[in-house]
Amino acid sequence: DTGVSQNPRHKITKRGQNVTFRCDPISEHNRLYWYRQTLGQGPEFLTYFQNEAQLEKSRLLSDRFSAERPKGSFSTLEIQRTEQGDSAMYLCASSPGRGEPNSPLHFGNGTRLTVT
């Protein structure tokens, strides 16, 4: 169990640029989640994959956001035409998806995005 890995750890970009983050879940986990956390707040759900299928998207996920998990392994989250309000910590989590329900999520260290 090598844990959930996210890259990069930090990203600074100018407003209007596109950015892409990567998440590598724990290898045997088939569920993958993206959350966003702003300063002083708890994480907010963005989207969820079961294998390669994106099963749920939050209303927080505007059209400028897109997430993929092409082979049911790693996932990418892309933000197009970034805005200053996109500055946040983007957290990825995974869970087994089999066996007991509502199994705890395993989180990565996150990618901190700063839009200038």
Find how far residue 69's CA is from the centre of its chain: 11
Beta bridge mates, 98: none
Q: Which stretch binds other proteins (CB under 8 A): 15-23, 66-74, 77-85, 90-98?
A: 90-98
55 binds other proteins (CB under 8 A): yes
Q: Measured from the CB atom, is 44 or 80 closer to other proteins?
A: 44
- Pairing between strand 31-37 and 88-95? antiparallel
CA distances from 88 to 31, 41, 49, 94 (A): 23, 10, 21, 20
Rounded CA-CA distance 23/61 in Å is 17
The verdict on 85 binding other proteins (CB under 8 A) reads: no
**Calpha distance 39→3 (Å, rounded):** 24
Q: Are 94 and 106 in contact (CB under 8 A)?
A: yes
Stretch that binds other proteins, among 11-19, 64-72, 79-87, 99-107 (CB under 8 A): 99-107
With CB under 8 A as the contact rule, the residue among 11, 21, 36, 48 that binds other proteins is 48
CB closer to other proteins, 10 vs 81:
10
Q: Tell me if 65 contacts other proteins by CB under 8 A.
A: no
Q: Interface with other proteins by CB under 8 A: which residues?
A: 31, 33, 40-45, 48, 50, 55-56, 89, 91, 93, 95, 97, 101-110, 112
